[in-house]
Structure 1
Amino acid sequence: MTGETIERELKAISKSYTRIAEQVGKFVVGNTPLIEMIFVSMLSEGHILLEGVPGTAKTVIAKTVAALSGCDFRRIQCAVDMQPADIVGVRMYDTERKDFVLKKGPIFSNFILVDEINRVSPRTQSAFIEAMSERQTTIDGITHPFTDPFFVIATQNPYEFEGTFPLIEAQKDRFMFSTKLRYLDADEELEIIRRESTGYLDWDAYRSAIAPVLTPDMIRHFIGTVRSVRAEEPILRYIRDIVLETRKHDDIWLGASPRASIAFVRGSKALAALNGREYVIPDDVKRIARLALPHRLILRRESDLGGVTTGEVTEDILAAVEVL
């Protein structure tokens, strides 16, 4: 791409994000960082893991962004007795065709919300691994690719322990980014109360008025544009040094994998594109670090028992590592 073309494409990306954020804000109060995170993840071809209390508009935000992106949306409500076939589908014998046909599961969609993923067993969790990493699934030895874009948001509730299974490390590593959701502040909570009182929180009316800002083809095109954003050698070394520091930090037992390095590069470029820049700056890397690292780090037992958190360790690493 020429410099003029890239500049024009980046303006289109930034404008699209602004329009989507404005449209979501007409119904959803707060959660601006989450909306930005979803958009960055889509442009990075990654997936998101959300942790937090129920009732924080996760489903509404996901459905709204999917609608504004012109994408198909499916929600998977996880349960202890859920089997892999409930997610990926199953091949059934069709007596009329006299052959096996695929009955597709909800994973065959553009935009998927997996609610309470830690409620399914590790065996069923593994059904997501191939899907999220390879963008395909294998049923009875036959591989079925997904249609791009393919994007997963998964949630887990850390405050319920009965009937839950901690995510296996291979599963958590498939999520490019993660964050912990918080309750709204006093002003935001009051705004929700006002909107409900005046009838503005009518989902059916809001959904019927939504007009897509993007299309799947536009998203694929924007992903290609993001790849053209420059990350100069000092930035690449900065990313390397942050990742390496996670592997020797005193509080960390298992550091970040090479997938974290890939998340840094893709996420930093996407964040730069959202801000209309053709190049990555250190602040982009720092913001992505807070999304890409905490869920990948496993603390030493003594640090964990001492109350140290992966978020605190991430901040410690960012303070220690300098751009050379």
Structure 2
Amino acid sequence: MVYVDQPPMVGFSDGELIRNLNQVQIYFLRFLEKYFALFPEDLQNDIYIAGESYAGQYIPYVADAILKRNENLTDGDDEYKLKAVLIGNGIVSPDEQSLSYVDWFKEKSLIDDSNPNWSQINDAQKACQDVLDGTAASPNENYAFSCHSILQVILNATRNESAPADQQCVNVYDYQLRDSFPSCGSSYPPVTELITPYLNSSKIQNDLNVNHPVNFTECNTKVQETFTATNSPPAKVLLPGIVSQIPIIVYNGDLDIICNSNGVLSYLSNLTWNGATGFDDANNRTDWIVEDKKAGWVLQDRDLTFINIFNASHLVPYSRPLVSRYLFDFATDEYTKNDKGFVSSPKDGLK
């Protein structure tokens, strides 16, 4: 398993600050080239790319670059054996997904039409819809400010100022939790106090072959401010070409707000892949059984699989670690499908 810090300047990586997703493709292919030069024996291995949240943008762009490279090999080049991709709680079509927030908050009884800020929320929703309809210009092709701002408008409207200071805002990564305002979940999961000193340890950085000491922090705001992907089409447009060649697995923790299941299902319902639009029957949801317990439900058509995972946050492996291990079964076709649904069971040696 290989973890990649990207874009440049994130984590322990260095290089130049980049702005758009096509540059990610260039850097990732360069990384693979150098990786396989160091470890040529790994060229024989199958490749699966997985990630969560903003990886919903990265993964399709990286997969698209690998597949196109494989189509244009020159003499002496080796094929990269990309077999499937897994996207967890991903922001794949940001503007479309932003339109899901209002209905999602209402569905979870976190807000209703009597909210005194309801007209402001409706105005924000309409401004985003206008961008999607093409009736409002946006300087950002990928993530319009009018769409990006909807969640903050709702968080402002649902703030409970009479609650204790650390309980005034809904946690956007797990709606069952509360946080201080305006943090609203930015400190989730509560492991920063462990991770930061660990990754700032000179011994750990030396073991990771970090060339120069790095002052590791949870977020690099310089990268965040620079890497806006303003001129990058949303990754959704790449999915049809990818799934025509390899399986795509999209999974979601059902407690997440910021990349919630409703928003994902919305963009998938409007997506045409492998000869049809959306899932053949989006209401025909099949149970996912993990070690004899219902872990979620599945929609699967034409090599694209969506998995909704029960009692899981934005970070599925953090909140449901055992269940998350079995997600890989959908990439390798190692599950069983019977009258119970999709069934995942322990393999030899896996407990």
TM-score, with length taken from structure 1: 0.31
TM-score, with length taken from structure 2: 0.29
* Higher share in helix: 1
**RCO comparison, higher one (Cα < 8 Å, 6+):** 1
